[in-house]
Amino acid sequence: MAAALSLIPELDDIVRNGSVEKRAEAVERISSLFLQGAAHFETRHVALFDDILIGLVPATEVATRVELAERLSKLDNAPPTLVKQLAREAEIRIAGPILSRSPLLDDPTLVDIARGRGQEHLAAISGRLTLSPSVTDVIVRRGDRDVVRSVAANAGAQFSEYGYSGLVKRATGDGMLALTVGQREDIPAASLKQLLAKSVDIVRRRLFDVANPAQKAAINKAMIELSGAPKLQPQVRDFEPAQRAILALHQSGKLDEAVLLDFSRQHKYEESVAALAALTGMRLNVVNQLMMDDRYDPVLLLGKSIGLEWASVRAVLVLRLGPGKIPSGPDIEEARINYERLSPATAQRVLTFWRLRDNGRTD
């Protein structure tokens, strides 16, 4: 410790009058001395270095603070006040290593930084080995898509009821996040059930495919409970006005794909179904049943059988969800890829089968 004490008389002069180089040199000397003996220092020794460095480090260049933060982030007995000082820096190259790794940051400090800093700082915090619910509550509320996905994938993160509620809400329009949240072994049964209820069928299937055996059982149980829950009565629709309008367009030669696309984009369900029925030659009731299917495959087959462009098929898929709702990015992308792969001949064969079944014939 004699070497550290010998530096103290110089510090006031270095801070007040020293050049950038002098300050950096002093920080290097003192921090190197600390790192060399850190494993053997007692609390009072660490406090001495803390007092010296917190007055000197802020006056150094960014590069010096970046290097120091990287070195201190790995120590469990680093100068605690200095560590918190570095963690609050606006420059992410300085704060990042401390926020990601330092075991000296307590929950109040992490919560305060998470509330006041931007997405880069939140991202750094989200990757810590452990995170308490008080911290993850803030991250789920303030984080962008990538940050929330990161914290959801962190096995060492814990979430409160509020946190899981927020994750489920954010996952409604994010299939990737839904898969991540659904695979967490600590997700409460009620939250898993909510997640599955809000997820589209393809996300449910993927989640079941990638889940471990215990999670598969939990998913099965939740799905059974959901299937047994009281269901909303199907909406009673009056198709007669739409049928008359579509018949008039058909007779005048004006019924085409552009008309179907326009109806779908305006969320005119009855007109869209009637138009699709007329264009495919299927009965309206059959097309309506296919539209209400949990899967999107029937819509792809109907569209491909008459050569619709993807934009029109996509509009019909969105129509099924209702006004103001959109499918998640991964779901709609998979639908697009499947539509491109689907051959017109296959779609026509399926439609022929549907017509035969509708007419009560099997050959």
In this prediction, the residues of the chain whose per-residue pLDDT falls under 50 are 1-8, 11, 14-16, 229-233, 361-363
Residues 6+ apart with CB under 8 A from 159: 133, 136, 137, 140, 167, 186
pLDDT value at residue 2: 42
Which residue is associated with the tokens 């004699």? 2
pLDDT value at residue 362: 43
Closest to 271 in 3D by CA, of 239, 315, 299: 239
pLDDT value at residue 24: 67
pLDDT value at residue 340: 92
User: To 10 degrees, the CA torsion angle through 21, 26, 32, 34?
Assistant: -150
In this prediction the pTM is 0.58
pLDDT value at residue 103: 94
pLDDT value at residue 9: 53
pLDDT value at residue 131: 97
pLDDT value at residue 22: 65
Label residues 258-275 b or e (16+ Cβ within 10 Å = b): ebbbebbeebbbbbbbbb
